[in-house]
Amino acid sequence: MEAIKDALAATKVSTRNVRVHDLGKIDFKSAWDLQEELVQELVDIKVLNREKPADEQIIPEHHLLLCEHYPVITLGKNGSMKNLLLSQDALNDKQISFFKINRGGDITYHGPGQLVGYPILDLDYFFTDIGKYLRLIEETIILTLKDYGIEAGRSAGETGVWLEPQSPSRARKICAIGIRCTRWITMHGFAFNVNTNLDHFNFIIPCGIGNKQVTSLQKELGREVDLAEVNAKVKKHFAELFDVVYV
């Protein structure tokens, strides 16, 4: 891989080109299918490059999908159905979809007013360190919140972004993160509560953590926030932290 990077650097071609897909409001399954398609493209490139000399390597294009979802609850591969508090009939009545999916983490809710991000990156061109990857995703949201005058951080042993994590009685989660990584290619990602209807989190035990609250940027600021503005700030911090070029 170092030989590949050296050869590409010599030709001044970036190995960290990221195409942004602003998908708007989209159903979860369509976004999941698109992720799978993009991941497979990167896997195919990785396989082809094994047979090529360094100076003939195919330069991959990475992706960042940003969207809102219609109401949906997703359960990660290690999650427990006990954390879903509604029956299928009740979900149907409330028009909330439900999917068991192939990411890590437990259960979470997605819905309108939430900024969902799915980075599709081949980490062979970044760093092969899942812990670092998760910390940089968290930092992207932490810096975005700082732009709004909100101090956020991490809760020990719990992935995601939290407000007042040091205070058990006041700790509240504002961004959930759950990923899948195969052959060092990432999918799934983060769900940042901007103007999200927090009542819908009452239908689950969020991330399987029953003793902590969930919050949103709207709730913390006391006003609705322009989602497009938040989107732009997230993209800015993501590009800086991951050292990428948007194409």
Residues annotated as catalytic (active site), given as ranges: 207
Where does residue 214 rank: exposed (0-12), middle (13-18), buried (19+ CB within 10 A)? buried
C-alpha 21/C-alpha 34 separation (Å) is 10
DSSP at 58: P
**Nearby residues of 191 by Cβ (< 8 Å), 6 or more positions away:** 108, 110, 114, 115, 116, 175, 176, 177
Find where tokens 């968290």 sit: 138
Nearest to 206 by CA among 180, 234, 179, 174: 174
CA distance 113 to 224: 9
Strands in the chain per DSSP E: 17-26, 62-69, 72-75, 97-100, 107-110, 114-120, 153-155, 158-163, 172-182, 185-193, 213-214, 245-246
Two tokens, residue 158: 């719990």
Looking at residue 166, the DSSP 8-state letter turns out to be: T
